[in-house]
Every structure is written in C-alpha cells, then in structure tokens.
Chain A
Amino acid sequence: MALKVPYLADAKLESAATELLRKYAKWKGTPPRPPIPIDDIVEGLLGLSLSIGDLRARLGKDDVLGATWLEDGHVMIDSSLEGNEGRFCFTLAHETGHWVLHRPLIEMEKVTVPLFSREPSAKATPAIICRDGQRDPAEIQADKFAALLLMPASDVRAAARLVQGDPLAVDDLVARKKAGELIPELRALASEVIERGNFSNVSNQAMQIRLETLKLVVDASAPQGRLF
C-alpha cells in the first residue's frame, strides 16, 4: 500500500531541506558543508535511532532499501547498501525526507501507513517502507528532498563554476537519455563537480540528475539551447 500524500511543489521541498540544514547549522554552531553529514542530522539533530540490517529478510520484500518506524523514531537501512556510500547516504536522506515531510501528515491523521514490526514479538507500528524504483508521489517527494539536502543548489553551482563557466550543452540529451544511452560528457562533469565540491557521499548518477535539475546541463538540440 502506497502512502498517499498531498502535492508538494518543488519550492516547498527545497525550503524544507534548507530549513533542516539551517536547524543543523544552529544545533552544530556551524553551517554544514558537503559532504552533508546526513548520519549526524539523523542521529544527532533529529535524535532518531539508526540501524543497519537485513531489512529484506525482516520484511519479506526483496527490493526494500530503507524503512522508517514513525512511532519509534527509528530508521533502518538495508545492509546491502553498506559500503556503497552514495546509495547509503541517499537512502538515509530519503528516509529523512519521509520523517520531515510525511510524519506531520501522519500525526495529523491525514494519511495512514501500513503496520510493520521490527521484532517478531513486538507490537506492530506504522512504518514507511521504501523499495527500489518506487515511483508514487510520497517516494518521489522523498527522493527530491534527499537530492536537495545532500546537494544544496548553492554548493553545486559553486562547484560547477569551478569546473566550467557555462552550462554543459549536450547534443540530443533528452533523446539519448530516453534511449537509455550513457552520456560520457555528463558523467565526466558530474564526477568533476563531486570532486571539486567535496560531495563524497553522493553518487555520480544522483549528481547527474541534480545538474540537470539545476539547468547546469542543457540539451543543445532543444530550442532554448540553440543560438540561432
């Protein structure tokens, strides 16, 4: 059962992520710089308990990556992500998105979530279960929130400026992506931005998407990309 949530504009998601970073800066006494310390935001600032374990076996779902038990204030990440820093941190930031964006809705009883138990003997409590490739609105919102949190626009723009002045124009970007083609020039730019901006807990794929969202990569074949 998917969590049904109201529509949230991108600007709202951005302001929620910025607000969380601002709270973290106040709590820590210094503004966070990339790599954004997502573990400390979750365990330190938000006071959630974090565990890493075999979620797939526990919940009987073979594509589950993370889960959040709202009543317990507990986040669990599947152990298959251990050692994959980019995916681990993105999943943790995604669960943070559910906590920040969707927990208040659940508390106001505007939406309901399925019941799951972490321990076989424990009482079942509402949990948000996040699976690979889920595309319902709540999951998309949490994904966007994760990207905004781990890759703040100002930091990505500053790093991209160090790499190249103008946005990267890629021929047939949209069509090539639609065809599932890998785009080496986009991959190379993402890699350089990650390195120059110290985004060491972000995957190349996540940075590629963020660069496109921020229009730091444009389709040279699209009308707005053409000079004449």
Chain B
Amino acid sequence: MKERLGERIRRKRAELKLGLRETAAKVGISPTYLSRIETMDEKTPPAEDVIRKLATLLNDNFDELMQLAGRVPEDVEKVIKSDPTMPAFLRTAKQHKLSGDDLMKLLAEKQKGKK
C-alpha cells in the first residue's frame, strides 16, 4: 500500500531522530497541527510553504511530498495557467502513458541531439 503523507513525515522524522515537538518548532507550526498531519486527522492538506519547510528539514523530495498531499506546486500551476497548450500536452502525454521520467528522458535525448 502506498505510504501516506503523514506516515512519510513520521518515518523521515524517526530516521533523522527528530522529535514531534522539535520538528514542529523548526517548521514553525504547532505540535498539535503536525500531529494531525501525521495521523491524517487534518483533512486540509498542509500549505505549500509548510511542505517546503518539511522537505528541507527532513531531507525529502518536495515534489513527492506535494504529490502525497494532493497539491500542485504554485510554480507548476502558473506554467499550466499561462500556456493554453499545456493541458493538451499533459493529456497527450497521459494518453501515451508517458511518465514524468519518460518526458525528462525525451528532453535529455533532444538536448544531446542538439549538441
């Protein structure tokens, strides 16, 4: 079963031997709020800046945490909103079952070809 956001945060904290209250203080949120995120009692996903701080503190991948939280990073949202061809591009990629990794590889090959 896929690890949930709260489980991931708790696991990373344990790996780094960071306490619940210590982590909350470093991120600038209340211990009760962090506890609610960890136990999935908090129905609203944490804000992007909270996830960013958690990712930095826990040496974790920001984009993966955002995905687990069901959030789209603000900069990505701006890219999609500012370019009307983006939704069509993403739909096409999905139709061709291309993952983000596949697209990155295609881009890398294209870059190589240019050189």
Contact = CB atoms under 8 A, between A and B. Distances in A.
Instruction: Specify the main secondary structure of chain B where it touches its partner.
Output: helix
Interface string B77-97: 000000000000000000000
Interface residues of A, number: 11
A105 B53 CA distance: 43
Contacts of A40: 17, 19
A39 to B, nearest CB: 4
Contacts of A52: 20, 31-32, 35
A219 to B, nearest CB: 39
Contacts, number: 32
B71 to A, nearest CB: 23
Interface in B1-19: 10, 14, 17, 19
A39 B30 CA distance: 15
Given A49-B10, A51-B38, 20 more contacts: A39-B20, A39-B21, A40-B17, A43-B14, A43-B20, A44-B19, A50-B20, A51-B20, A51-B35, A51-B39, A52-B20, A52-B31, A52-B32, A52-B35, A53-B35, A53-B36, A53-B39, A82-B30, A82-B31, A82-B32
